[in-house]
Structure 1
């Protein structure tokens, strides 16, 4: 997915431009640090104190130049208007967050307001149109049948969360002035991999196959996750 994001950034902004990036629900800060290492000014927003502590520890281990490009804030992604002025960022990331938000429209509208004109909104969501794939491939037929007509599911942490449909998000993004520009599938072939599984010897081939499937119909339509990129008009 990092490659997909880099592709969209390269298409939207001049080479070498130092971007203002907001990472909402940044978790352990993996993406935020990657972008800071690339020279961008990154603000990470995270409401989980434990995650924020991990991110701060990781940031402390970075060289001074990178540390100076990162600002970490404890806060809720639905309160961006409290922390920032409209149009303050060129890129806003919201990866793996919407599944925990029961009504995401207000959050998405707030994120769109944070974007400068031409800015990029990057979303990573669970694909509600493919919820039957994981239990089906695992042979859990009762769960498979129950997954067709719902957006609710239980994640690997045992939490009851929700997924999003591509058509619904496309409409929402158009309505908040950050129309969908590109979308990809993520984890087309690897969603059933066991947590902590050993890295396969043919990792490069696996990544190449996932990358190809993630941008090719019909494969991307049944991906576990969707990566959507909206552009502020």
Structure 2
């Protein structure tokens, strides 16, 4: 996986306005599909654990896997009494050897698939982790709107390149790969996963500068982003897409 070497820049982005928008929307969208009763959740590439901790606070049993000991350390500082969270330090590629098939009711994989040149073996591993009827929450870069960010920033050469492919260099300076919704749905179907719902994430706020302050009207911003992320045609031009998939 190609994320190695970008951890410092990732940490610098924690708590920024773009991060707040992303994490809040993903939490709200995911919560609609998880059962109210406690379930077993695996968070693959959990990073600092924003989603893992939020799911644990809702009573779920969470296993958080990440290759970074420092990021897992941040996660562990957020574990409150009564939360059931286990951390595992390992590369995402090792899923198949670390966990028994069918051991989780839900698997979260947010911002990870983009670092795999060939996503299919990894998608197969994610599918194998799910119990029958389990749920996969997958957050990826939106390949159908890859030209939007450079275009809105006035990078016309970058926008023109983006029309023709799915490879790009992200804000962390790491080469990455976007996914087009139709193609990704087909890949998921091969592994017994059906897209139940999908959302756009960061329709309006993707081009905010790194140092953009948290506005006083944050609730209005989030409400507008949430509405756009559920509504066509807006969700189709979002920076990220969040897929909720069910296992057969």
Per the normalisation by structure 1, the TM-score is 0.93
Deviations, residues 88-130 of structure 1 (Å, cap 9, x unaligned): 0001000000111111111111111111111100000000111
Counterpart among 223, 230, 233 of residue 245 in structure 2 = 230
- Tell me the equivalent position of 1:125: 140
d(CA) in 2 for partners of 1:196 and 1:112? 38
Q: 2:43 aligns with which of 7, 10, 23?
A: 23
The DSSP-based 3-state class of the residue aligned with 1:169 is: helix
- Are 1:74 and 2:81 counterparts? no
Per-residue CA deviation, residues 125-154 of structure 1 (Å, 9 max, x unaligned), is 000111110111111111111110111111
1:46: Cα distance to partner?
Answer: 0.3
1:5-59 Cα offsets, whole Å, 9 max, x none, are 00121xxx3x3x1100000000001111111111110000101222222222333
**Alignment partners' CA distance in 1, 2:144 and 2:216:** 32
Among candidates 193, 202, 221, match of residue 217 of structure 2: 202
**Deviation, structure 1 residue 178:** 1.2
Partner of 1:135: 150
> How many angstroms apart in 1 are the aligned matches of 2:101 and 2:162?
38
- 1:51 is the counterpart of 2:46: no
* Partner of residue 127, structure 2: 112
Separation of aligned partners in 2, 1:54 and 1:202: 28
**Aligned equivalents of 2:134 and 2:199: distance in 1?**
19
The answer to whether residue 30 in structure 2 is matched with residue 5 in structure 1 is yes
Aligned-CA RMSD value: 1.0
| Unmatched segments (≥5 aa) in structure 1 | none
Count of residues in Structure 1 that have an aligned counterpart in Structure 2:
223
Supply the distance in 2 between the matched residues of 1:196 and 1:177 (Cα, whole angstroms). 42
Runs of 4+ in 1 over 6 A off after TM superposition: none
Of 49-58 and 80-89, the range deviating more from structure 2: 49-58
Q: Which has the higher contact order (CA 8 A, sep 6+)?
A: 2
Secondary structure class of the residue paired with 2:32: helix
1:153 alignment partner in structure 2: 168
What is the TM-score normalised by the length of structure 2? 0.87
Residue aligning to 2:199: 184
